[in-house]
């Protein structure tokens, strides 16, 4: 092949095709590969100029077309498919070439692949990409982890194609091995929490204030112009305004209340438990998707049990409480996820800079929000900050909104409106800010039935009692 290309991409689905077009739009030449000839032809057709962008179903043609060190990104489904693609590539690669997994691979799989490919002289990156198909086309947030020196070959391309926040690219080298995939996993866990919270507030406004879809649209739009400015609040506003093509009403009222999941939220929750880090706002978001899947059982249970008649609240008051409750719970969810990242960095040797993580989330990604500017400042002021709740930047923000959350949680409990995200966020806050918890009773119980010992509050040492 006469021409050589700067960047290669395997997997020309919607995400892959949009990403490679983004690369080409930013002044780099790009070559795609897919086993589906229709996807290959679609890219060539959309790319227009084959000197700028091209593609092939043949792996040898694909690898031969790339400048060395080859920079090859995979945007294929996580799991065995990634391993199959890697094995297909290896015979056609040379020492120093770079493979980048842009999917949501589990971080231990990334560590395994990194070790395997390092022995062959090939650099491997796990690079989380957030922003969906539109983000891939117009500028995503990218979270790469791998060999620091090898990243310099990829850096110009990633910085060009990434989203920009006030001119700063929303991509940065995060750390060795699976650091990038791990950060993306926790990003998605936070995403689960924020989505659960925005849906609960919708339910609260609808049931507790009889808000119409137009009012919901206006309310979320107003919030997005204030301190709740975020991608998820913005799209929620637009969702409430969407007409249904099949009926006379709004689409939101026809969508079944069964939420699916791809597993990244569950991985975040499971790994947090392994690390001993509490993330209850994320845990409950995962559990609520699982409960939502039990639609048939929920219908039967609804018929068996009485529910309180909802006492409507003044709309203006409810809207104010809801805005404050959502703001409080957003802070708590970010705090939990960032706490997990900081602890995992120590445990797995990632050497993460949480300030950098917060910066690259400020644009392009699903959890982008105005709050991240304040989060960045908090970690710039104290790089070793263990939890956002200990930052002077956030004390007033939390202090001024927590009373509203208490009122909303009590109102939801009294009126049978489930608010698990809000209530778990509040419980986490109350527990984290309590200098004394009743866990002394649990320690006494453990020592009583299992001789597990306990510590004392009045002196050093390990103690055991022969309980009577």
> Is residue 463 classed as helix, strand or coil in its secondary structure?
strand
Does residue 99 contact residue 72 with C-beta atoms inside 8 Å? yes
- Look up residue 217 and give its two tokens: 């649209």
Active site residues: 184, 191
d(CA 44, CA 66): 16
Neighbours of 468 (CB within 10 A): 4
Q: Where are the alpha helices (DSSP H) in 242-391?
A: 264-275, 280-292, 295-304, 315-348, 354-360, 371-381
- Look up residue 455 and give its two tokens: 């510590």
User: What burial class does residue 110 get, using C-beta atoms within 10 Å of its C-beta: 0-12 exposed, 13-18 middle, 19+ buried?
Assistant: buried
d(CA 220, CA 193): 18
Distances in whole angstroms, Cα of residue 51 to Cα of each of 9, 54, 57, 464: 16, 7, 17, 76
Does residue 165 contact residue 229 with C-beta atoms inside 8 Å? no
Does residue 104 contact residue 128 with C-beta atoms inside 8 Å? yes
């Amino acid at each position: 092949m006469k021409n050589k290309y700067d960047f290669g991409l395997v997997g020309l689905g919607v995400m892959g095709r949009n990403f490679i077009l983004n690369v080409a739009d930013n002044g780099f030449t790009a070559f795609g590969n897919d086993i589906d000839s229709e996807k290959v032809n679609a890219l060539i057709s959309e790319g227009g100029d084959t000197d700028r962008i091209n593609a092939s179903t043949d792996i040898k043609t694909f690898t031969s077309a790339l400048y060395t060190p080859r920079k090859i990104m995979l945007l294929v489904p996580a799991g065995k498919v990634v391993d199959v693609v890697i094995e297909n590539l290896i015979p056609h690669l040379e020492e120093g070439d770079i493979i980048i997994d842009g999917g949501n691979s589990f971080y231990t799989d990334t560590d395994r692949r990194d070790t395997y490919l390092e022995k062959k002289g090939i650099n491997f990156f796990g690079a989380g990409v957030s922003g969906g198909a539109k983000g891939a086309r117009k500028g995503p947030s990218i979270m790469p982890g791998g060999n620091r020196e090898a990243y310099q070959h990829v850096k110009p391309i990633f910085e060009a194609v990434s989203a920009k926040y006030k001119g700063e690219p929303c991509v940065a080298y995060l750390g060795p091995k699976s650091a990038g995939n791990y950060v993306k996993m926790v990003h998605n866990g936070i995403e689960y929490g924020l989505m659960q919270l925005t849906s609960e507030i919708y339910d609260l406004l609808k049931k507790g204030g009889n808000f119409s879809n137009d009012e919901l649209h206006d309310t979320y739009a107003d919030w997005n112009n204030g301190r709740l400015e975020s991608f998820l609040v913005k799209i929620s506003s637009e969702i409430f305004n969407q007409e249904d093509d099949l009926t006379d009403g709004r689409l939101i009222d026809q969508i079944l209340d069964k939420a699916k999941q791809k597993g990244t939220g569950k991985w975040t929750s499971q790994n947090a438990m392994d690390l001993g880090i509490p993330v209850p706002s994320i845990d409950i978001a995962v559990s609520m998707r699982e409960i939502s899947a039990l639609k048939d059982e929920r219908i039967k249970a609804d018929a068996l049990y009485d529910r309180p008649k909802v006492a409507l609240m003044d709309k203006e008051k409810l809207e104010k409480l809801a805005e404050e409750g959502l703001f409080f719970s957003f802070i708590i969810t970010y705090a939990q996820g960032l706490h997990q990242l900081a602890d995992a960095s120590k445990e797995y040797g990632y050497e993460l800079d949480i300030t950098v993580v917060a910066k690259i989330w400020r644009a392009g990604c699903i959890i982008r929000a105005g709050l991240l500017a304040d989060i960045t400042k908090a970690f710039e002021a104290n790089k070793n900050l263990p939890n956002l709740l200990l930052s002077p930047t956030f004390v007033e923000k939390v202090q001024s909104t927590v009373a509203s959350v208490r009122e909303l949680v009590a109102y939801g409990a009294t009126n049978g409106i489930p608010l698990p995200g809000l209530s778990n966020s509040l419980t986490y806050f109350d527990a984290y800010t309590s200098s004394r918890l009743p866990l002394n009773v649990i320690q006494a119980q453990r020592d009583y039935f299992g001789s597990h010992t306990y510590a004392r509050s009045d002196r050093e040492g390990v103690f055991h009692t022969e309980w009577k």
